[in-house]
Amino acid sequence: MHLFASKDLEEAAALVYRYMSPTPQYAWPQISEKAGAVVWIKHENHTPAGAFKVRGGITFMDWLRRSGSPTRGIVTATRGNHGQSQARAARAAGLAAKIVVPHGNSVEKNAVMRGFGGEVIEYGRDFDEARAEARRLAAETGLFLVPPFHEEIVRGVATYGLELFSAVPDLNAVYVPIGCGSGICGVIAAREALGLKTEVIGVVSAHAPAAKLSFEAGRLIETETALTFADGMAVRIPVEDAFAIYSKGASRIVAVSDEEIAEAMRLIYRATHNVAEGAGAAPLAALLKEASAMRCKKVGLILSGANVDAEIFMKVLAGETPTVTVSK
Residue 81 near residue 51, CB atoms below 8 Å: yes
Which residue, 121, 104, 110, 133, is CA-closest to 325?
104
Cβ proximity of 303 and 283 under 8 Å: yes
Short-list 310, 308, 317, CA closest to 262: 317
- Tell me the pLDDT of the chain (328 aa) as tens digits: 668 999 999 999 999 999 999 999 999 999 999 999 999 999 999 999 999 999 999 999 999 988 887 688 999 999 888 998 899 888 988 999 999 999 999 999 999 999 999 999 999 999 989 999 999 999 999 999 999 899 999 999 999 999 999 999 999 999 999 999 999 999 999 999 999 999 999 999 999 999 999 999 999 999 999 999 999 999 999 999 999 999 999 999 999 999 999 999 999 999 999 999 999 999 999 999 999 999 999 999 999 999 999 999 999 999 999 998 764 4
Contact 288, 259 (CB under 8 A): no
CA 228 vs CA 3, 42, 179, 212: distances in Å: 31, 23, 12, 15
Backbone angles phi, psi at 11, to 5 degrees: -65, -40
Given this model, what pLDDT does residue 69 score? Answer: 75
Helix (H, G, I), strand (E, B) or coil at 101: strand
Domains of the chain: 6-52+151-317 (3.40.50.1100), 53-145 (3.40.50.1100)
Q: How far is CA 162 from CA 49, 61, 94, 216, in A?
A: 19, 20, 29, 28
Q: Under DSSP, is residue 299 helix (H, G, I), strand (E, B) or coil?
A: strand
Residue 164 has a pLDDT of 98
Sign, CA dihedral 279-283-285-286, equals: positive
How far is 112 from 80, CA to CA, in rounded Å? 9
Q: What is the pLDDT of residue 1?
A: 62
* Rounded to 5°, angle at Cα 167 from 22 and 260: 80
- What is d(CA 75, CA 246) in angstroms, rounded to the nearest whole number? 26
Spell out the residues 6+ positions from residue 318 whose beta carbon is closer than 8 angstroms to its own: none
pLDDT of residue 29: 97
- CA 256 – CA 254 distance, rounded (Å): 7
> Can you give the pLDDT at residue 128?
87
Q: Is 306 helix (H, G, I), strand (E, B) or coil?
A: coil
- Residue 328 has what pLDDT? 41
